[in-house]
Structure 1
Amino acid sequence: MTASPAAAALTARAQEVSTEIVGDILALVRQETGSYDLPGLAAGLDLLRELAVRRLGQPDHEHRHPGGECGDTLTMTYTGSGTGAGHVLLVGHYDTVWPTGTLAGWEQPQASDDGREKLGGPGIFDMKTGLAQGIWALKLARESGAPVPTVTFLFNGDEEIGSLSSRPVIEEAAQKADVTLVLEPTAHGAVKTARKGTGIFQVTATGVEAHAGLAPQDGASAITALSEFVVAAAKVAAPDRGTTINTGLFRGGSAINVVAGQATAGVDIRVGSQAEQDRVDAELDAIEVSDPRVRIEIAHDWNRPPMTLNAASAPLLDLAREVAREQGRGELPDAAVGGASDANFVAALGLPVLCGMGAVGDGAHAQGEFIYPDTVPAQTALVAGLLGRLTQPLRG
């Protein structure tokens, strides 16, 4: 498909500056920002702000929201040009799952079998590439000379651990904007229009301690009971309905010769619908263990609601596809994925949102995490082109 002249100029300009965009990506990757490393997160956010100011100038409004035990959340607003009243929120997290020190032992990935270059590093795919591309997208949209909407960047440092402090900031910012674009990585080039809801449950078993040799009959093992619960919980999963249940953490006991009085388990749950969420809640609560002396307590923490392509988001997807066609990309695919993101919060409010506007690559949360640098110009141009079409509030 042949690109329109304006779209062709935009993509050509993105190609011209691709080395600079990749340079900014690598600068962000070199500053490690593990979710639990507060000094690293602070330095990473300072660097991210510096890059934004270098490329876009000082924002018209900004606020740094303290994260407490999590990384801070920064909002930076750049007022649009022209007479349009459009307001776009660009969301991206700068924290990663990788602990500080990971970078030193990271090996760069080999090129693809077809010789295609890859770039690796902790967080490069999820999602520091998207952060840099988002900043450059606004820069390129401005340079094109066409009107641009007001753009608010929201950078949060706690997405990988549930957006514990940033969720209310995200929801408030989304309600003030017309549309939200989340700069998470793509699904092999596809935007993400559906994501599973996530539950992070803590299950606690409280039993009765006793000497394991002298009076084992007096004890009620929390470990044994919790093991029974975990096995029963796994049977509540329904992969055919998109529901998965994984016990990823298990701790308990005080000594090898003591019947365990306490045990805890951390359970990750993924669901594709509210109905499945309700079913899982009910069936987990109904699980019984064999020793009635052990008390099982479940902390139901549904961290993110399921995300679907709501009525408000469908026109935004149509517009993104139109921009892609104008840029000569052909049909822009969309995908449903198992992971959750901050887009889940926005979709649950019934607001227009597209996720997966960032990197093309693979290996999120894995040592092989990488991007294809040859996709950086096109992805940046896609967001830039979409910004240029959002100078007026989106109409469904």
Structure 2
Amino acid sequence: MTSDEQAIATLSRWLALESPTHDAAAINAMQDMILSEIADEPVRIERIPGRDGLGDCAVLQAGAENDRPGILVVTHVDTVHPVGTLAGALPVRRDGDRLYGPGAYDMKGGIYLALVAFRNAARLGAAIGRPIRFLLSPDEEIGSPTTRALVEDLGRRSSHVLVMEPARPGGAAVTARKGVGWFDVEVEGRPAHAGSRHQDGRSAIREAARQILKVEDMTDYDRGTTATVSKVGGGTAINVVPHQCRFAVDVRITNAAEGERMEREILGLEAIGPDVVLKVGGGINRPAYERSEGVAKLFETARTEAAALGFELAEVPMVGGGSDGNFTAALGIPTLDGLGVDGDGAHTLDEYCLISSIEPRRRLVEQLLRTL
């Protein structure tokens, strides 16, 4: 069986097991399936039980057992697709160079190529002069609420971090990501009969509408900052002045200072109308991943290694989506992202990976694990 045939066979099995973040049993079954691939390898496996209703996490370790800073490979097994997607618009199928399925691009294809690279490097044992670690996270797609501390702890013990999020078009790597903030705003007004006692009411929806416009106006494209009110809900009945309303805000920022400023602005929102109360919670949950000198140097190393392997590795400007790489980059650890498969359609019903991208990128990751 060729390397591409093996990749297709294994990935097709993985894709056929749907693993949305909030289905702990599915996440754990996915972890079982992945870990079975390295059960007989010289790899130490730590399985960390899930909490808060989420699935398990797994950390693999190989290479030398010494105190040198290690190399960390970051992956996540959860997807955004709910169970039933396979039976609907996104079945597992091959169309030429494309392999379709939930999570094919984001990021089971990346897990596969990195796991093969890690397995091959692990077989070298102490010849790999430092520890190499491989993280399989269960909750990246919802902001890593149960694994952020672990990602940061593993990052602090590492000299370099390789993140297997999907490549950008043409196989480009990611060297910078915007930071992400999520906020909830609750408005409490006063209910009243909408016909006979309208003057006694204090509409929470009216107040929310005014606050929403204020938040949306915080978007500043020159700064690279966006503020999006993404969910709104409120009211009780059509004939009642609404006393409750709630909305959610998504914020994207390019640097730590801007994140602090936006946090102050949104957490500091004050009521505009009389006799209403605002409760604001949340904050910046993924710090900005900036292209530091260490990141630039790591990318140049990877670019040189890719050229020696016969392909060009490009990079893209700062992207808007966050990843677990944000956490390690913000700690000052050289982090290179977008090392997973090439393809398209992340978070859509057209998601696919390019089979031809798997083997070259596997060889690149393996070379980095051996030589960094």
TM-score relative to the length of structure 2: 0.92
Q: Which residue is equivalent to 1:94?
A: 77
Residues 1:125 and 2:109 are matched in the alignment: no
Which amino acid in 2 is paired with 1:227?
A: A
Match of 2:284 among 302, 309, 314: 302
Identity over aligned pairs, percent: 34
Kindly state the Cα deviation for residue 318 of structure 1 after the two structures are TM-superposed.
1.9
1:351 is aligned to 333
Is the 1:88–1:179 Cα contact (8 Å) retained in structure 2? yes
- The separation in 2 between residues aligned to 1:156 and 1:110, in whole angstroms, is 26
Q: Describe the SS at the equivalent of 1:247.
A: strand
**Contact persistence 1:109–1:370 (CA under 8 A):** no
Name which of 168, 179, 193 aligns with 1:187: 168
**Match of residue 149 from structure 2:** 168
Alignment of 1:1-396 (within 5 A): 16-53=2-39, 57=41, 59-80=43-64, 85=68, 87-107=70-90, 117-141=97-121, 147-148=127-128, 149-188=130-169, 189-284=171-266, 290-390=272-372
Per the alignment, do residues 109 and 37 of structure 1 end up closer, same or farther by CA in structure 2, a change over 3 Å counting? closer
Cα offset, 1:110, TM superposition? 9.9
TM-score norm. by structure 1 comes to: 0.86
Q: 3-state DSSP class of the match of 1:169?
A: helix
Contact in 1 for aligned 2:93/2:100 (Cα 8 Å): no
CA gap of 1:108–1:119, structure 2 versus 1, over 3 A, is farther
The structural deviation recorded for 1:108 is: 5.9
- Report the count of equivalent residues: 370
1:21–1:136 CA contact under 8 A, matched in 2: no
Q: AA paired with 2:57? A: T
Instruction: Find the residue that maps to 2:145 and give its secondary structure.
Output: coil
Question: How many angstroms apart in 2 are the aligned matches of 1:301 and 1:248?
Answer: 15
The residue identity in structure 1 corresponding to 2:155 is A
Q: For the structure 1 residues 171 and 281, does the alpha-carbon distance in structure 2 shift closer, same or farther, using more than 3 Å as the test?
A: closer
CA distance in 1, matches of 2:79, 2:158: 26
Partners of 1:286 and 1:255 lie apart in 2 by 30
Letter paired with 1:41: I
The SS at the match of 2:222 is helix
Q: Deviations over 1:74-109 (max 9, x none)?
A: 11112349x995621111011111111111113469
- 1:240 aligned counterpart, secondary structure: coil
Whole-angstrom CA distance in 1 between matches of 2:257 and 2:292 = 17
- Displacement, 1:63? 3.5
For structure 2, which runs of at least 5 residues remain unmatched after alignment? none
Gaps of 5+ in 1: 1-14, 391-396
Instruction: Check conservation: 1:109, 1:368, Cα contact below 8 A.
Output: no
Q: Match for 2:32: what amino acid?
A: D
Change (3 A) 1:309 1:221: same
AA of the residue aligned to 1:124: A
1:168, CA displacement in angstroms?
0.5
Q: Distance in 2 between matches of 1:102 and 1:108?
A: 7
* Residue in structure 2 matched with residue 3 of structure 1 by the alignment: none
What SS does the aligned partner of 2:174 have? strand
Q: 1:142 to 1:171 in 2, by over 3 A?
A: closer
Q: 1:16 to 1:288 in 2, by over 3 A?
A: same
Q: Distance in 2 between matches of 1:84 and 1:290?
A: 56
Q: Distance in 2 between matches of 1:17 and 1:84?
A: 35
